[in-house]
């Protein structure tokens, strides 16, 4: 965690500033103040504030992805997967990862060139969700009905929407209940037989 060189310090400061002050609040001066270094260093090392913020997203994305894969590996059925999703939601809130993602998405409405960069960094999450869905649902009747990649897209969208509303609400209470509901629902789904027939891997 302790950043050894300046580039690291800038990335860490960018992450902190994005979480605490949002996209528009993450100016070169604000980031420099957070990390107690000179404002001009951002331009020397990254060329622009924009690229420093994308580097921040890169870092948290890589860290979270590693954590997700580890957590998901233990899930063998839909109920386990919902449990992992709940865990991921909590970890994301705590780590601030989705906050950073949401802030950059917000920023994309100003700087349109950010859009493709963000899409490229979201794609792995959709892939990840799709792989996990395939893993527990492949061969089941439900898999015939719902293409895994569409479902994966919907789930990522749901995470984003929930995070935004949670942010505005100032409370995660309603999202909490939704994950509990998803747990109950996955149990129902298991019992229904709609998830049967998948090869356990």
Partner DNA sequence: GTCTATACTTGGATAGAC
Partner DNA sequence: GTCTATCCAAGTATAGAC
**CB 27, min distance to DNA, A:** 3
CB 38 within 8 Å of CB 3: no
Cβ closest to a second copy, residue 67 vs residue 178? 178
The contacts of residue 178 (CB under 8 Å, 6+ apart) are 162
Cβ closest to DNA, residue 10 vs residue 129? 10
**CB 116, min distance to DNA, A:** 18
The tokens for 32 are 């420099």
Task: Return the closest-CA partner of residue 71 out of 56, 86, 58, 61.
Answer: 86
From DNA, a second copy, none, which one binds at residue 124 (CB under 5 to 8 Å depending on kind)? none
Cβ closest to DNA, residue 6 vs residue 95? 6
The Cα–Cα gap between 74 and 80 comes to 8
Cβ closest to DNA, residue 17 vs residue 186? 17
CB 102 within 8 Å of CB 161: no
Residues that bind DNA (CB under 7 A): 5-7, 25, 27-30, 37-41, 43-45, 47-50
Cβ closest to a second copy, residue 3 vs residue 161? 161
Cβ closest to a second copy, residue 67 vs residue 108? 108
* Residue 199 Rama label (left phi>0; alpha psi -120 to 50; beta): beta
From a second copy, DNA, none, which one binds at residue 108 (CB under 5 to 8 Å depending on kind)? a second copy
From DNA, a second copy, none, which one binds at residue 6 (CB under 5 to 8 Å depending on kind)? DNA
- In the chain, which ranges are continuous DSSP H helix? 6-21, 28-35, 40-46, 49-72, 78-95, 97-108, 114-137, 141-145, 148-169, 173-192
From a second copy, DNA, none, which one binds at residue 45 (CB under 5 to 8 Å depending on kind)? DNA
Residues that bind a second copy (CB under 8 A): 21-25, 102-103, 105-110, 115, 118-119, 122, 145-147, 150, 153-154, 156-162, 164-165, 167-170, 174, 177-178, 181, 184-185, 188
CB 189 within 8 Å of CB 167: no
6, 30, 161, 169 alpha-carbon torsion, rounded to 10°: 130
From DNA, a second copy, none, which one binds at residue 38 (CB under 5 to 8 Å depending on kind)? DNA
């Amino acid at each position: 965690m302790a950043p050894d060189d300046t580039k690291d310090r800038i990335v860490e400061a960018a992450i902190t500033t994005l979480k605490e002050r949002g996209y528009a609040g993450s100016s070169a001066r604000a980031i420099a103040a957070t990390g107690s270094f000179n404002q001009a260093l951002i331009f020397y090392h990254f060329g622009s504030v924009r690229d420093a913020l994308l580097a921040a997203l890169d870092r948290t994305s890589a860290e979270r992805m590693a954590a997700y894969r580890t957590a998901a590996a233990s899930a063998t059925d839909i109920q386990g997967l919902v449990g992992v999703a709940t865990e991921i939601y909590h970890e994301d809130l705590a780590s601030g990862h989705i906050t950073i993602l949401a802030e950059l998405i917000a920023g994309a409405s100003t700087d349109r060139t950010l859009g493709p960069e963000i899409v490229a960094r979201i794609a792995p999450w959709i892939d990840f969700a799709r792989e996990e869905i395939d893993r527990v649902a492949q061969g089941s009747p439900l898999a015939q009905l719902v293409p895994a990649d569409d479902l994966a897209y919907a789930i990522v969208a749901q995470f984003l929407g929930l995070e935004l509303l949670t942010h505005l609400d100032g409370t995660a209470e309603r999202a909490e209940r939704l994950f509990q509901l998803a747990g109950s629902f996955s149990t129902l789904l298991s019992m229904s037989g709609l998830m049967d027939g998948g090869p356990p891997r």
